[in-house]
Structure 1
């Protein structure tokens, strides 16, 4: 399927005035290889997050640490990843994205090697946080280079679709691969396998990616240092507060203080952006007024929980109620992985042929309404009749929504803002994932106080939240999305 963008682009470049650059002028075979590298980079970013979730119980046992400490292995990565995305996007727009991407891949790989040899939980958390910075460098730069390599609308749409699909595939497949590695080897191989893949890809990228030149005007722009500080500090405090809420309570000073400061810093950041020239602002204010931009960001904010939430909830419940091992849990999560493969490789073109408003309404409605099956999946006997159909349909709906919204955001902005747009989309996804996971975890913790496992009351309550979120997304899109703007290529 990766050859399709090349054929379409060759035809369209001959009949349009779309400007060429070093990436778009390279050979079709080389561009196909670049598309694979960029897609695999996003796959790894998602794998690093989801793969660690399946390892948490094993790490907690090995390091003799409570869950609220080991959860920082996921939170620390998400914290730095979400915080540095916008900075990485701005740097990619201003300078050469090739070197931003390669530096990010090397950072991920080198520290993945170190993570496998660490015997201190604090050291492992620090390494995971540094990996998050490396991952933040890869996504905006890869997105920018993809749009440069495939500048025509049809080719760009298909390339971005495959790129977005790789992220959802990484989330789903990490549970299966991670479960197998934990069961038959050690959790350390879950991080080592990332190094085995990322370091060769980084080395290949130094040769494969041609020397790129951004818009000369961008080189003369100044980096918005106060904006970077305010936004980064805001996201860090937000994710920190949300990670503490399930353990310490939403009304405690440990949670409220960073939440309030985070909100104040974010408002100050938005105000500061209005005081700067458009070519200097980290996030030009006019981007928020691009038709459907805010709606698509909201979809990104909500979508990831449908790919991580069910496994996060059930991976806590199944070991207690059914005594299932990590591999068994991974295998029982396989319907999500298989569905993701099908959606990501076969259906993207057909998904993007739908009117975007109809596609988003349908996909969000599917994800939300079929979460109801998980509410009642309370026994082992209901796995095939309730859990499997729900996993399949939730993955279909959430993956479709992710693809449509990702392609829509990148296609709606001018080429000089692609890096920032990709960063905003990914930052919304990370912040939304953190907030929704915190809410789901809080529900689990509070309900378990009165209905401990193996009662299904806590998972059932958490799944009701997913149902409500899906309907909220559906209403948001139905009311505020403007049909005249098409996100399909």
Structure 2
């Protein structure tokens, strides 16, 4: 394809910010000192670390919380689910707000919100207060994650630095899981305040992130989009639909899938999502046709999410989303059942280890998270996307396979250590390379929204993976506990859940092999080099309208 034809086919958006040429944007990036760039990247990464750690730290503290506040064990999981509901289901809404009204504003406000409600959780004295505050706490995380993606993409033009920054940000997810488990175990066991200190630590870290964000992130540029109205109906439909679906996935196995309210909520949730897609398609059609009457109507704001975005790069955008969904289903299912296996069955029941010594055996996840960041940064500009993602899904699956085959009498080094090492590589290879890929085929004014979509898919994948693996576990235990002792039946259930996670990972590997072939290399091998096609698009997008076409720069 010739250079001229390629430029004509690229989507041409109206970019936020002043009307400057691409060369000036490059100069702006060069002005970042190494120290300032590092602080900016770490600030955004801290948002991801806190997002995940706020789940894993609380998971560890659940038994003590239940004992102190007399919360029945069957309702304890809502302390985790309430956070996951809001942090996952508000991502798309806040992603659009960040793109429209300023990523720094949304990031700082979200971090401050997170700090305030984390602090309040440390003083809660009853179950209802905890559940409500956990839900509000999750809203803060939903604001910081998509705005972080947009901040990084806006601060660093396509280059090795952007790849490194997004890889570091993505590494915050497995690192947050490891840090949360380690600190949660230490604080719960060693501090006088036990579980309350977990929330106070989260509050302090969130406050520090707020301050860092205020000083390290550039001021938001005024929007030059002609229509900055918010699609409130679309926001309501997608948020309500996601909340109901994730709620049903979390509650269905507990309440029973035939329970009337579970069936009703699932139907309503699906209807909301279908209406959301139809509404967004209608708004996109209206704005593409430039009907003056429709454009001036208060009922037809710009779409919250263009439905054509899912066909970007010849459908590979949608494929990347589905692969991330399945791999995250595998990773979080592995993590959930490993927590139960390590803490309740093997290390504490079999070996009588304390929570701290149990956490020490998960330290490799933290170290691997750091190493994985460097591996992605070095390989993303040299190795094709399909190789990285397939390798990541295979590593995730191997970790699940190790625990599906584990022998309780085997030493830690035989199964536990290798699984803790490779699972982080598996998760981060998919998450980091997927984030970089999505950022590459997204227009500058879409970065927070597409980042939100990617993270939403992983959040839904989390709920889906836990639900399906729990169903498998329950069915296996119910089938076998009448013929063998309960301890052995439980062990078989744990292994069956890990086989389920293995299946998710292998399916994602197959999909990656089938649908991501031809993508090629999505990173950059030279610092601060912008591809000619992307540079041409940046120069033209200052004055031309956005078009919903494929971005073919990385697809052969």
What is the TM-score normalised by the length of structure 1? 0.91
1:457 maps to what in 2? 492
For residues 131-170 of structure 1, the aligned pairs below 5 Å read: 131-170=137-176
Asked whether the equivalents of residues 73 and 125 of structure 1 are also in contact (C-alpha less than 8 Å), the reply is: yes
Secondary structure at 2:23 match in 1: coil
Answer with 22-31 or 417-426: which moved more.
22-31
Aligned to 1:126: 132
Match of 2:474 among 434, 445, 449: 445
Asked if 1:43 corresponds to 2:49, the answer is yes
Cα drift, residue 136 of structure 1: 0.6
In the other structure, the counterpart of 2:230 is 223
2:254: which partner in 1? 247
Structure 1 residues 417-468: Cα deviation after superposition (integer angstroms, max 9, x where no partner): 0010011011111111111112222333333334333541111000000111
| 1:195 counterpart (195, 199, 203) | 203
Distance 1:357 1:190, change over 3 A: same
Q: Is 2:399 the counterpart of 1:364?
A: no
1:182 is matched with which residue? 188
Correspondences of 1:42-61 after superposition (within 5 Å): 42-61=48-67
- State how 1:90-489 maps to structure 2 within 5 Å: 90-185=96-191, 186-217=194-225, 220-277=227-284, 280-291=302-313, 292-317=316-341, 318-320=343-345, 321-322=349-350, 323-449=352-478, 450-451=480-481, 452-453=486-487, 455-489=490-524
**2: CA distance, partners of 1:306 / 1:299:** 11
For 1:369 and 1:203, locate their aligned partners in 2 and report how far apart those are by CA, in whole Å.
40
Q: Secondary structure at the match of 1:59?
A: helix
Distance 1:369 1:32, change over 3 A: closer
Does 423-432 or 149-158 show the bigger shift?
A: 149-158
Structure having the larger proportion of residues in helix:
1
Partners of 2:504 and 2:475 lie apart in 1 by: 19
- Once the two structures are superposed, what CA deviation does each residue of 1:76-106 show, in whole Å capped at 9, x if it has no partner? 1110111111110001111121111111001
Higher relative contact order by CA 8 Å / sep ≥ 6: 1 or 2?
2
Q: Distance in 1 between matches of 2:149 and 2:376?
A: 21
* Residues in 1 aligned to 2:117 and 2:520: alpha-carbon distance in whole angstroms: 42
Q: Distance in 1 between matches of 2:122 and 2:324?
A: 32
Q: Give the aligned partner of residue 532 of structure 2.
A: none
How far residue 369 of structure 1 moved from its aligned partner, in angstroms, is 3.5
Deviates more, 1:223-232 or 1:186-195: 186-195
**Is 439-448 or 48-57 further displaced after alignment?**
439-448
SS in 2 for 1:353: coil
Query: Matched residues in 2 for 1:288 and 1:149: separation?
Result: 25
Distance 1:351 1:178, change over 3 A: farther
What's the secondary structure of 1:76's corresponding residue? helix
Q: CA deviation at 1:22?
A: 7.2
Distance 2:142 2:427 in 1: 22
Structure 2 residues not aligned, in runs of 5+? 1-20, 288-300, 525-556
Matches of 1:305 and 1:326, distance apart in 2: 26
Contact persistence 1:52–1:73 (CA under 8 A): yes
Q: Report the alpha carbon displacement of residue 209 of structure 1 after superposing the two structures with TM.
A: 2.6
Instruction: Give SS of 1:295's match.
Output: helix
Please list every run of 5 or more consecutive structure 1 residues that lacks an aligned counterpart in the other structure.
1-14
Note the C-alpha offset of 1:273.
0.8
Which is worse superposed, 47-56 or 328-337?
328-337
Q: Is the 8 A contact 2:334 2:501 kept in 1?
A: no
Give the distance between the partners of 2:151 and 2:39, measured in 1 at CA: 13
Give how far 1:352 is off: 4.8
- Using the alignment, how far apart are the partners of 1:159 and 1:359 within structure 2? 17
Larger Rg over CA atoms: 2
Distance 1:389 1:92, change over 3 A: same
Count of aligned residue pairs for this structure pair:
474
Structure 2 length as normaliser, TM-score? Answer: 0.81
After superposition, the CA RMSD in angstroms is 2.2
How far did residue 316 of structure 1 move?
Answer: 2.4
The C-alpha deviation readout for 1:252-294, integer Å capped at 9, x for no partner, is 3232221221111111111111100368111111210112111
Q: Structure 1 residues 462 and 468, CA, compared in 2 at 3 Å: closer, same or farther? A: same
Does the C-alpha gap of structure 1 residues 432 and 72 become closer, same or farther in structure 2, counting only changes over 3 Å?
same
Q: Distance in 2 between matches of 1:440 and 1:342?
A: 29
Q: Is the 1:50–1:308 Cα contact (8 Å) retained in structure 2?
A: no
Asked if structure 1 preserves the Cα contact closer than 8 Å seen for 2:403 and 2:498, the reply is: yes
- 2: distance between equivalents of 1:22 and 1:446? 58
| Stretches (4+) displaced over 4 A | 20-28
Shift of 1:346: 4.9
